[in-house]
Structure 1
Amino acid sequence: MGNEIQTVQISEGVYWVGVVDWNLRDFHGYETPKGGTYNSYLIIDENITLIDTVKAPFFEEMLGRISQIVDPSKIDYIVSNHVEMDHSSSLPAMMEVCPNAKLFCSAKGKKGLFEHYREMGFEKWDIQVVNTGDEISIGKRTLQFIEVVMLHWPDSMHTYLKEDRLLFSNDAFGQHIATSERFEDQVEGVMEDAQIYYANILMPFGKQVLGYAEKIKQMGLKIDMIAPAHGVIWRKEPERIVESYVKWANAEAKPEVLIVYDTMWNSTEIMAKEVLEGVQSAGVDVKLRNLRKNDWSKITKELMDASVIAIGSPTLNNNMFFTVAGFLSYMKGLRPKGKKFFVFGSYGWGGGAVKGIEKELTESGFEIVEPGFQINFRPFEEDRAKCREIGSRLASLAKE
C-alpha cells in the first residue's frame, strides 16, 4: 500500500494518516515543483474521528495508515471540512468501510457533497450539518466548528480540538511540498512555500482572511498547533502563519519593482533589462522574470511582494504575446491589491501589445502610473536611455 511513511502522532491520541504525492507538479493550474500532500487526521477517543480524507487515487494508502492504529470500520465520526476533490474524492470509499459513521459538514458542504456523490452512496450517509460555534463531544475531548466561507470555497470550515488547542485548518495555512517530515520546524523554507501557496490560491480572498482572523480572536481560540490539509504542520509558534496571512491580506508590499515580460527577437528583453538598470541605479530592489523561463507560481508570490509591476510584451498578430495574455488572465483572477503598473513593448508593423495590455489592466481596475512605452523593431540608444529613465521613475514610485 505504499506505507513507507508511517503514521505520526502529532498530539496525544491524534495521528497524521494522510499521504504524500511526491510527483505532484500541477495544482489549480500552477506549478508545484516540490510535490504535495493530502493530509488526513485520526483522533482516538470514545468516538473515533477522522478529519478529512484524501484524493481518491491515494485512498488505499490512507486506509493502510489508519489500519496501523485502529480497525477503520470502527470509525464513528468523519469530518468533511471541504468538498473539493483533493479532500473528498475518497469519502465514498471511506463511507463504505465505516457505513455507520456520522458525517459532519457545513450546510453548503452537504449540498456540495450531494452534487458530487449523489450516485455514489450519498443517500445512505448519516450527515449532521454544523455551524460556527457548534460543538460535539467525542469522549474526553470536544470538537468545535468554524465556518470559513470562501477560504477558499463557500463550503469551507475549520475544526478545532479544544482540549489540545489544535486547529484543523484544511486549505488555509498550507503549502505544496512533499517531504518525509511532518512539522514545519523540521523543513527549511516553509514560510516561503506558504506564501507561494497563499499567492496562488488565497490572494483573492484577503477580506475573508481578515474576517477569519477577527473571528477566531472573538471566539477566544487559543491555538498551539495548526494542522492544514496540505503540507507540514505548524507546531512552533503557529501564530506566525496567522500573522503572515493577515499581513498578506492587507497587501503590505515592499519598496520593490517586478518586471515581467516575454520577448520574440530580444527587443522587449533589451528594454526590460534597461528598465531594470534604471531601477537598480536608483537603489531599489528589482526582479526580472521572463514568462517562458520562470515558474508562474513563484512570479505570483513576487508580484504580491512588489509595489510596482512593469509588464513587457512584443506584438504578435496585432496583440500582446500569448504568454503575457495568459499571465494577465491568471493575475486578474487573483486580484492583487494596491499595485501600480507600467506597460512597455516592441512591434514591427503594427503596435497592439501595449494598448492591449493597458486595456486589460484598466478594465480590471488596476492603476497604470503613466502611458506605456513602445519601440519599433529594435531599441536604439535613445530608446534605451528612455527605458532607464522609466526605471528610475518606477523606483521612485516604489519608495512612496
Structure 2
Amino acid sequence: MKELEEGICSLDGVEANGVRGEDYGLALIRCSGKTVGFFTKNKVQAAPVKFTSQLIKENKRLDNVLVNSGCANAFTGQKGYEDAVWMSSLLDGKTGVCSTGIIGKRVDKAWIEKNANYLKDNLLSDKKGSKNAADAIRTTDSFIKEIGVQIGDVKVAGIAKGSGMIEPDMGTMLCFLYTNADFSQNFLKRCLRKAMDKSFNMIVVDGDTSTNDSVLLTSTESLEKCDKKNFEEALDLVSEKLAKMIAKDGEGSTKLIEVTTKEGRNNREAKSASKEVLRSPLVKTMFYGESSNLGRIVSALGNSEAFIDEEKLEIMIQDTKVIEGGRIVAEDSKIKELVSDDEIHVEINLKLGVSEATVWGCDLSPRYVKINVGYS
C-alpha cells in the first residue's frame, strides 16, 4: 500500500480548488465519471441533498461537485431548492451540489457566484488543490481531512468534513471519494455501501444525524482492468481513515475513543453495544474527566439492544482487564491512568457468540457546549 501525497488530485482527471472567506467557504472538484452516492436519512433533507441525489439517479454520473460551507441550505423550502439548481447551473456539465453549515438560512448567491467563477478558472491538479478544497468545506472542523492510497494499480482518495452532528444512519457529514477503477454502477455502489457500514456508519460524536449528510464516489474510468479486491481494500481503508479523523475531531473533543464489542450474539447486538457506549453523555464525560466510574459503561451496555450476561461480561481498557465475571477487578488509580491517554481502546467481550463491531467516537467536554452555543 502506498499513500498518495496529492490527495484527490493524485488521480489523473481530478482537479480541485477551494476558497475561504470570513463566513463562508467554497470548493470545486472537477471530475467526469460514473458516480454513486448515499445521503442522509434525516426526514428533513436539505435542498442540495434532494437535488444531487436526483441528479445522480437520472444521469449516473457527474462532471463537477460544488460545495459551500457556512450555510446548509436546509429547511429553506422551494427557494432553497431553486438556489441548489442555480448553483449547479454555474458550471458546465452535470454538477452536484453539497452544502454544510447553519440550518434555516439561504446561500449568499453573490458570494458563491463570484468565487465559483474564480475557482473554475483556477483549478489545480496537485496537493494544493486537494488541500484547498478540503479546507474550504470545513465548518467547526479543527483540521482538514484528506487521504489517498494506491494498492496495485488501484487508486482511491477522498476528502471529508465533519465535527458535529455526527451519528449517521446511512451516510455521513460530507465526503467526496475518487478512484481510477472502472467498475459498473452497481458494483461501485455495493462496495461503497460495504465500506460505509464499516466506517462512516460506525462513528458517534453527539448522536445527531445531519440534514445534509452526503457521500459521493466518482470513478475517472481510466483503469478498466483492475483487481476487485485491491479496489475494495483501498476504498475500505480510505473510508476508515476519514471516519476516524472525523471522530477524533469531534467538537471540543480531547480524546479519540475506539470501542470494540466482541462475541455478541449477532451483528446488530454487537453494533448496538458499541454505539450505545459511545453515545452516552455520561460515558463521554467519564473519559473527559478521566474518571474511574466504570458503572457508566455497564449502564450504557444495559441500555443497548445487546443481551448481557453479567457473569460472562469482560471489559478491557488499553489491553488491561478492568471488569471480569460481573465485577470490577482494577483499582481506581489504575483505571484513571488507563483513561488518561489521548487515544483509548475499549474492548467489550460479551462471550455469547461470534459477532464483532468497532465504533469510533470522542469524549464530551465543556468546549462542545461553548462551540455550539456560539454557532449561529
What TM-score, normalized by structure 2, do the two folds share?
A: 0.26
**TM-score where L is the length of structure 1:** 0.25
Q: Greater Rg, structure 1 or structure 2? A: 1
| Bigger strand share | 2
